[in-house]
Amino acid sequence: MRGQSVEPQKLADLIATAGLRYKENRLSFIFDCPKCHKVERLWMFKDTGRFICWYCAETNGFKGRAEYALAELMSRPVGVIQKELYGSRLTTADVFFDFTLQNKWDDNEEVEDVEVPDLGKLDRILWSPDYYPIDHRFSEKGAAYLAGRGIDMETALFYGLRYGPIDRRVAFPVGYQEALFGWQARYIGATEWTDETGKERRIPKILSTDSLSGKRDRLVQFADQLTGTDQAIITEGPVDAIKCHLCRPNPDMPAGNIDTMGKIVSDRQIALLKYCGIKRVYLALDPDAESEVRRLIQAFQPDVEVFIMDVPKPFKDFGEMSMEGVRLAYKRARQPNPGQLFFHLKTREEALRSRRSF
């Protein structure tokens, strides 16, 4: 991540002197959101200033750098807050990433007459020069990480993956045909550790480019895989999607494997899939996405056939499995029964992980 970053003490001092109402935990300041007015939904990391409203992030992309949240909370110009935090106003040359974080709530309002996203009207960007094609000599560590996840070089090149040696992140593009709208970058090292002073440290596992802010609900990752096929396989993350590479109705058709970049599949994303003429949808979500599976069944049926791909034990998701194993799960996919109940019992380990998410 490049560009100016917030100093934690300056951020804490600004919040303290602004007279804002907030709570805090070890890692975050917690506010009522000034946009949706939902209580304690806006979380801001103390060490980076990055924020997200767990509700608005899904509806209008309200997440990103500290000054944009503070401008709303304090009713002050963004430029003034930038000067207090960074010593100067930022320019468009500064490059930042936005967090991609899991929504902890299930607030999904019904949206009628959803407009099909027009991908041709979205702003296009260029790759950062710090990110190299995955077969470049500077990308050896990224390629080794992918190989360890069961993604070989041929497959990585097929999906246009890159690697940033400075950031130590593998980049998964978000685009369509020749257009690049942004990318998600996954850190290849440990994201939580204790430093030499005994202080717990944490960095985000997944970051997204600013260009995707506010656009996630109208995009899907690997959209090209929807061309020339009549099926779609919906996954939560890019590795899960790539692991579905072999799940094809026949060898001449793409698998239709796409990533919705999160557990919540938006109404626009659903409209996009229907617009593409998809006849069958395979839900390859994580086992804890039972409420979203139920919602998607209702959203697609009766126009589209729906199948459920189950993650077999002991795996937590499809990203942990081999491509052959995922293809077997695809062949064994089942159609939901009318009136079927969906539930997921968290293991002790999963419960502890969710508590540590902040």
**Location of structure tokens 């998809």:** 278
pLDDT value of position 109: 36
Domains 119-216 and 218-355 share a fold: no
Mean local confidence (pLDDT), 53-80: 82
Q: Name the residue type at position 95.
A: V
Instruction: Tell the CATH topology of 8-91.
Output: DNA Primase; Chain A (3.90.580)
Whether 130 shows a pLDDT value over 70: the answer reads yes
With the CA atoms of 201, 203, 204 and 209 taken in that order, what torsion angle do they form, in degrees rounded to the nearest 10? 160
User: Greater confidence, 174 or 26?
Assistant: 174
The CA distance from 278 to 226, in Å, is 8
CATH of domain 119-216: 3.90.980
Predicted pLDDT of residue 284 = 94
62 vs 155, more confident: 155
Q: Which two tokens stand for residue 318?
A: 């499809």
Assigned token pair, 45: 């990391």
The amino acid occupying position 54 is W
* Nearest one of 146, 169, 168 to 159, comparing CA atoms: 146
Q: How confident is the model over 223-236, as pLDDT tens digits?
A: 999 988 999 999 99
The packing angle between helices 66-74 and 78-86, to 10°, is: 130
Quick check: 206 and 236 in contact, CB under 8 A?
A: no
pLDDT digits (tens, 9 = 90+) for 138-149: 999 999 999 999
Which tokens hold the place of 279?
């006849």
Dump the DSSP string for 268-287. Answer: HHHHHHHHTT--EEEE---T
pLDDT confidence of residue 347: 53
Domain segments of the chain as ranges? 8-91, 119-216, 218-355
CATH code for the structural domain at 218-355: 3.40.1360.10
Interatomic CA distance for residues 63 and 210, integer angstroms: 10
Between the CA of residue 188 and those of 82, 142, 356, what are the distances in Å? Answer: 31, 7, 20
User: Distance between CA atoms of 90 and 80, rounded to whole angstroms?
Assistant: 11
Q: Distance between alpha carbon 16 and the CA centroid of its chain, in Å?
A: 31
Neighbours of 8 (CB within 10 A): 13
Please determine, for residue 357, whether its predicted confidence score (pLDDT) is greater than 70. no
Name the pTM for this structure: 0.63
Reported as a pLDDT band with limits 50, 70 and 90, residue 30 is: very high
Contact predicate 250/290, CB 8 Å: no
Q: Please provide the average confidence, as pLDDT, over all residues in the chain.
A: 82
- pLDDT class for 276, splitting at 50, 70, 90? confident
Contact 311, 336 (CB under 8 A): no
Cα dihedral across residues 61, 65, 68, 73: positive or negative: positive
Question: Are the C-beta atoms of residues 134 and 43 closer than 8 Å to each other?
Answer: no
Dist. CA 294–CA 301, nearest whole Å:
11
Q: Is residue 51 predicted with pLDDT exceeding 80?
A: yes
Closest CA to 209 of 314, 108, 94, 317: 94
More confidently predicted of 99 and 164? 164
